[in-house]
């Protein structure tokens, strides 16, 4: 457990509120992690209003300063992809996002632009205990000045048996903090990957202004397959990664490039409304992840990697059960609770970014690309604090296009209609194959009882004998993999045990770009390592 002791000015009205959200980042009941709240220096009453996210302290009116204390405790067992956004606290380390760790007086920062000053003292930890976070490394005293509330609360704090690796990128400090023993790669490989990625992306944005940046990488146990996740934060991003031989360094290349890209798209360049513009902040981040990796050949990944990733994104989008849902359905609730909605803005936005990139390069005869738009948006967010919304985005794009993008934008982003990619690829002179193998489970089930609700009669599942009404009692499914067999043990008519196996694949009319020289030369100029050219 961690004890947090805070002192702050009291409200002269006799009631001081602390804000602490019970629900955030898709997690509920965060108050389960808070114990033993008490006012230390005065007699007072402490009550909690979970719904409004307030700890309410009643105290004598004449009191100037309050000393308040609470204990943070992990409320779920272990660490997995499911618990990574909750406080992790055990004997050897802790890993907590700022908003789950620090209550803040609610009188601070009523306006989002208000800034606060916060002093942190890390006391009573063992000598060899590493203290590391978004604001510094190995500092027992930290003064964080002129910070916006949101910026402070979008941070990572870790401590314990972490190892830190320091790099220097054009005189700025970049630190990797990790723990545990990685099965698939050495600390050094990851530290080098971070350095290369940071250098490449800062060059792209022409932005080497950050003096301090850190990445945390936390291993978790996963028996089969691989899993990883990350989140972009103040001066940092935090990752949690499955630690087994199925987790490859190429997956880390993707993860690091995606999360670092959020340092600009999402962090500096902000959405006007979170989920409403995720097609931009997640989709364009995704697109620039592929483009940046291929342009800089990070870990030797090149144009073929770019083509593979664009193809995968197209397949993922076109096979999504919510592929054509309007943007208005990408709400907080849908996004965080439904896997399909959760991924939709990534796929939709990335495909849109790819097509826009091609359009701009075609209209400008290769003089401009989507890169110019990203630079313009970055500049507007710094100079004018401009937030991204559809109207602003269209305005910037239209500066580079012959035709108004508005109706294309409305059809494919706001209304969610799929883009006719074969037409587009013809237009841009790209070679493609009109159909492809896609992942197809072939049946629908009740997600709680695992009873089969429907089986597609044209699917491999049906051919293998699966029928509506079957009760699944054991299963092995590699989601998204067309080369891995699905194995099911089912019970039919209460006592008939049947084993069913099949490849979860079907042919679908989804265009896929061809690998190789033709498309490479249209998408990337092999003579120029620093710039990606489409259609010279």
Bridge partners for 475 per DSSP:
488
What backbone phi and psi angles, to 5 degrees, belong to 106?
A: -75, -15
Choice between 258 and 506, CB closer to Zn ion: 258
**What's the closest the beta carbon of residue 85 comes to Zn ion, in angstroms?**
14
CB of 81 to Zn ion, least distance (A): 15
Instruction: Please tell me the number of Cα atoms within 13 Å of 532 on its side-chain side.
Output: 27
Q: Which is nearer to Zn ion, 239 or 247 (CB)?
A: 239
Partners of residue 492 on adjacent β-strands: 496
Query: Which residue lies nearer to Zn ion by CB, 278 or 432?
Result: 278
Nearest to 396 by CA among 310, 536, 268, 269: 269
Q: How far is the CB of 262 from Zn ion (least distance, A)?
A: 6
| 401-428 burial code (b ≥16 CB/10 A, e <16) | beeebeebbeebbeebebbebeebbeeb
Closest approach of Cβ 1 to Zn ion, in Å?
A: 32
Is the Cβ of residue 230 or residue 442 nearer to Zn ion in the bound state? 230
- On whether the CB atoms of residues 191 and 230 are closer than 8 A, the answer is no
**Cβ neighbours, 10 Å, residue 445:** 17
Q: Which residue is nearest to Zn ion (CB)?
A: 282
- Nearest CA-CA partner of 298 in 308, 307, 289: 289
Instruction: Give the phi and the psi of residue 358 in degrees, each rounded to 5.
Output: -65, -45
Q: How far apart are CA 172 and CA 168, in angstroms?
A: 6
Q: Which is nearer to Zn ion, 70 or 97 (CB)?
A: 97
User: Scanning the structure block, which residue is given the tokens 């097609």?
Assistant: 279
CB of 255 to Zn ion, least distance (A): 10
Total residues in contact with Zn ion, by rule CB under 5 A: 1
Query: Is the Cβ of residue 282 or residue 440 nearer to Zn ion in the bound state?
Result: 282
Half-sphere exposure of 1 (CA within 13 A, CB side): 13
Residue of 498, 505, 456, 506 lying closest to 475 (CA atoms): 498
Phi first, then psi: give them for residue 274, nearest 5 degrees: -35, -85
Rounded to the nearest whole angstrom, what is the least distance from the CB of residue 282 to Zn ion in the complex?
Answer: 5
CB closer to Zn ion, 282 vs 357: 282
Q: Provide the sign of the torsion angle of the four alpha carbons 463, 465, 467, 473, taken in this order.
A: negative
Do the Cβ atoms of 512 and 436 come closer than 8 Å?
yes
Minimum distance from CB of 233 to Zn ion (Å)?
A: 12
**Nearer to Zn ion by C-beta: 238 or 461?**
238
- Least distance from C-beta 412 to Zn ion, angstroms? 20
d(CA 275, CA 342): 10
Residue with smaller CB distance to Zn ion, 259 or 357: 259
Q: Which residues, other chains included, contact 471 with Cβ-Cβ below 8 Å and sequence gap of 6+?
A: 449, 450, 451, 452, 490, 491, 492
270-289: contacts with Zn ion (CB under 5 A): 282
Contact pattern for Zn ion over residues 282 through 321, marking x by CB under 5 A: x---------------------------------------
Q: Which helix (H) or strand (E) holds 496?
A: strand 496-502
Q: Which is nearer to Zn ion, 20 or 378 (CB)?
A: 378
Residue with tokens 């059960």: 321
Nearest approach, Cβ of residue 127 and Zn ion (Å): 37
Nearer to Zn ion, 282 or 309 (CB): 282
Residue 375: count other Cβ atoms within 10 Å of its Cβ.
14
Residue 414 DSSP one-character state: I
* Smallest separation (angstroms) from Zn ion to the CB of 265: 9
Q: Which residue has the tokens 């790669």?
A: 185
Closest to Zn ion by CB, 282 vs 371, is 282
Q: How far is the CB of 232 from Zn ion (least distance, A)?
A: 7
> At its nearest, how many Å lie between Zn ion and the CB of residue 422?
29
Q: Which of 451, 471, 517 is nearest to 304 (CA)?
A: 517
Residues between 414 and 473 that touch Zn ion (CB under 5 A): none
Bridge-based pairing of strands 432-433 and 104-105 is: unpaired
Q: Which CB atom, from 275 or from 282, has the smaller least distance to Zn ion?
A: 282
Structural Rg of the chain based on CA atoms: 25
Binding track, positions 375-414, relative to Zn ion; x by CB under 5 A: ----------------------------------------
The DSSP letter of residue 149 is H
DSSP 366-390: TS--HHHHHHHHHHHHHHS-PPB-H
User: Whole-number minimum distance, CB 278 to Zn ion, in Å?
Assistant: 9
Contacting residues toward Zn ion, per CB under 5 A: 282
């Amino acid at each position: 457990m961690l004890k947090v002791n805070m002192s702050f000015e009291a409200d002269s009205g006799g009631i001081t509120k602390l804000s602490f959200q019970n629900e955030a980042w898709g997690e509920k009941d965060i108050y389960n992690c808070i114990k033993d709240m008490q006012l230390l220096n005065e007699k007072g009453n402490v009550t909690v209003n979970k719904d409004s996210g307030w700890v309410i302290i009643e105290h004598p009116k004449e009191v100037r300063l309050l000393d308040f204390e609470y204990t943070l405790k992990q409320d779920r067992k272990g660490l997995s992809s499911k618990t990574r956004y909750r406080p992790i606290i055990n004997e050897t380390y802790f890993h907590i996002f700022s908003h789950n760790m620090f209550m803040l007086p609610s009188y601070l920062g009523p306006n989002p632009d208000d800034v606060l000053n916060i002093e942190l003292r890390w006391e009573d930890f063992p000598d060899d205990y590493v203290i590391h976070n978004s604001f510094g490394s190995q500092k027992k005293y930290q003064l964080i000045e002129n910070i916006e509330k949101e910026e402070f609360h979008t941070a990572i704090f870790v401590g314990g048996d972490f190892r830190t690796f320091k790099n220097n990128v054009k005189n700025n400090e970049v630190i990797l903090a990790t723990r545990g023993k990685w099965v698939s790669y050495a600390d050094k490989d990851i530290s080098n990957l971070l350095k290369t990625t940071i250098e490449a992306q800062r060059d792209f944005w022409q932005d080497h202004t950050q003096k301090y940046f850190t990445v945390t990488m936390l291993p978790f146990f996963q028996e089969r397959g691989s899993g990883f996740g990350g989140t972009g934060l103040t001066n940092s991003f935090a990752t949690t990664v499955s630690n087994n031989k199925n987790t490859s360094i190429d997956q880390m290349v993707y993860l690091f490039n995606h999360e670092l890209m959020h340092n600009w798209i999402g962090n500096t360049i902000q959405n006007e409304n979170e989920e409403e513009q995720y097609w931009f902040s997640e989709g364009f981040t995704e697109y620039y992840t592929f483009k940046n990796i291929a342009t800089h050949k990070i870990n030797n990944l090149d144009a073929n990697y770019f083509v593979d990733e664009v193809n995968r994104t197209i397949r993922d989008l076109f096979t999504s059960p919510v592929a054509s849902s309007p943007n208005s359905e990408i709400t907080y609730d849908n996004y965080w609770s439904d896997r399909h909605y959760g991924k939709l803005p990534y796929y939709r936005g990335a495909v849109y970014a790819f097509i826009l990139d091609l359009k701009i390069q075609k209209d400008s005869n290769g003089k401009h690309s989507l890169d110019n738009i990203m630079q313009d948006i970055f500049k507007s967010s710094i100079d004018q604090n401009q937030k991204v919304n559809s109207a602003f985005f269209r305005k910037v794009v239209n500066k580079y296009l012959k035709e108004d993008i508005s109706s294309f934008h409305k059809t494919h982003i706001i209304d969610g209609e799929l883009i006719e990619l074969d037409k587009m690829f013809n237009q841009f002179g790209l070679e493609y194959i009109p159909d492809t193998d896609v992942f197809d489970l072939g049946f629908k089930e009740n997600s709680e009882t695992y009873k089969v609700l429907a089986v597609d009669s044209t699917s491999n599942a049906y051919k293998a004998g699966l029928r509506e009404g079957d009760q699944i009692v054991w299963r092995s499914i590699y989601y998204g993999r067309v080369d891995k067999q699905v194995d099911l043990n089912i019970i039919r008519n209460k006592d008939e045990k049947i084993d069913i196996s099949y490849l979860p694949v079907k042919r679908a009319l989804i265009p896929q770009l061809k690998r190789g020289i033709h498309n490479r030369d249209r998408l990337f100029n092999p003579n120029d390592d620093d710039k990606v050219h489409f259609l010279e």
